[in-house]
Amino acid sequence: MIKLIVGLGNPGDRYQKTRHNAGFWLLDQLVANEHSRLAEDKKFQSEYGKIFLANHPLHLLKPLTFMNASGRAVSAAAKFYDIAPEEILVVHDELDLPEGAVKLKYGGGHGGHNGLRDIIAALGSKDFYRLRIGINHPGDRNQVVDYVLHPPGKAEQAQIDTAIIRGLNVLPILLQDGAEKAMHRLHSTE
């Protein structure tokens, strides 16, 4: 059962609209949908909030540590609330998926994503859920850093927004019926 949802991104106005902040975008939309809010919590170096979704309590976390140091925030919250890695859902941008695609996955490596790399190191485990929001790949690995730190175009943003809505719509299924049904629903509607 998921107890903690983490949205990955970079803090500050400079990064707010960049592709790397897709995890923040989903969490912000979830908070807005639930008429809730996040507040800065220094002990987690994050914006933190709590909601009930599908009658399940959820901790929400947006690390303010910058992407490459997200593990500190996730680990601190997990320890404080006694949340095991397998009870965590990390929402992040995914270069290996096209805009508009969204995939739910359990475990695995970091795939070159520095936020995931740091979370895996801090938790000492790869065994957590990931909601991967497709942002597409620039085609040249030397352009990746510049690509993820720039905003998408209007058409790309619309596709990413659609993926975020689809990701949000599957969360109640994940909480009520489990990962297998959530994955089936999400992956069979593409």
128 marked as binding residue: no
Over residues 138-151, the pLDDT tens digits come to 999 899 999 999 99
Q: Is the pLDDT of residue 190 over 70?
A: no
Of 78, 115, 71, 74, residue with least CA distance to 93: 115
Q: Does 189 have pLDDT greater than 80?
A: no
147 is in an annotated binding site: no
Catalytic residue among 20, 59, 92, 113: 20
| 20 noted as active-site residue | yes
- Mean pLDDT over 83-108 rounds to 96
Convert 17-50 to b/e letters by CB count within 10 Å (16 or more is b).
Answer: ebbbbbbbbbbbbbbeeeeeebeebeebbbbbbe
Q: Topology of domain 4-187, per CATH? A: Rossmann fold (3.40.50)
Res. 111 pLDDT band, cuts 50 70 90: confident
What is the rounded average pLDDT for all residues in the chain?
Answer: 96
Please indicate if the annotation marks 55 as binding a ligand.
Answer: no
Q: 134, 128, 107, 98: which is closest to 26 by C-alpha?
A: 134
pLDDT of residue 65: 93
